[in-house]
Amino acid sequence: MSPVTPPRILIVDDNQLNIEMASFVLRRAGMEVAAAPDGHSALAQVQSFVPDLILMDMQMPGLDGMELTRQLRSQPSARPMSIVAFTAYAMTGDKEKFLAIGCDGYIAKPIDVSAFPDEVRALLPAAP
């Protein structure tokens, strides 16, 4: 019987405190976590870390989360991973907009520390 591989999560966020909090909570829940502080770094990380799920901040300077999501969804190698809008945007229609550009889900910031790991697990891609 082979050991279960922990889910691999990439957090893309330009706010270091958001990265630290989310990373801490997810690692305590048994997940493997990497982080990228911007969209360009995330493109490189996706190639070397190969996440199961990306928590994508939508508002970042330079290459923002919306454009990065579009770019990733155009790459066949990135299609199996879940991309989750991880944002403080909570206006009417924002969730639908993020789903329309290729996100698989939406988690609002600030996170609820007790519910966050389960929210992430629920958005992981189904095992083949």
pTM value surpassing 0.75: yes
Of the listed ranges 24-28, 89-93, 98-102, 122-126, the one predicted with least confidence:
89-93
- Determine the average pLDDT of the residues in 35-48: 94
- Report if residue 8 sits inside a domain: no
- Report if residue 47 sits inside a domain: yes
Quote the tokens at residue 3. Answer: 């050991």
Q: What is the mean pLDDT of the chain?
A: 92
- Report if residue 96 sits inside a domain: no
Pairing of strands 32-36, 82-87: unpaired
- Report if residue 27 sits inside a domain: yes
Hey, how many other C-beta atoms are within 10 angstroms of the C-beta on 31? Answer: 19
Q: pLDDT class for 93, splitting at 50, 70, 90?
A: confident
- DSSP string spanning 77-102? GGTTSEEEEEES--STTHHHHHHHTT
- Report if residue 87 sits inside a domain: no
- Report if residue 29 sits inside a domain: yes
Could you list the residue range(s) of the whole structural domain that residue 50 is in? 17-56+67-75
Cα–Cα distance measured from residue 33 to residue 54, given in angstroms and rounded to the nearest whole number = 10
Q: Is the pLDDT of residue 1 over 60?
A: no
How many domains is the chain built from? 1
The angle at the Cα of 69, spanning 17 to 79, to the nearest 5 degrees, equals 120
Cα–Cα distance measured from residue 111 to residue 11, given in angstroms and rounded to the nearest whole number = 13
Greater confidence (53 vs 79) lies with 53
Per-residue b or e along 1-20, where b marks 16 or more CB atoms closer than 10 Å to that residue's CB: eeeeeebbbbbbbbeeebbe
- Report if residue 6 sits inside a domain: no
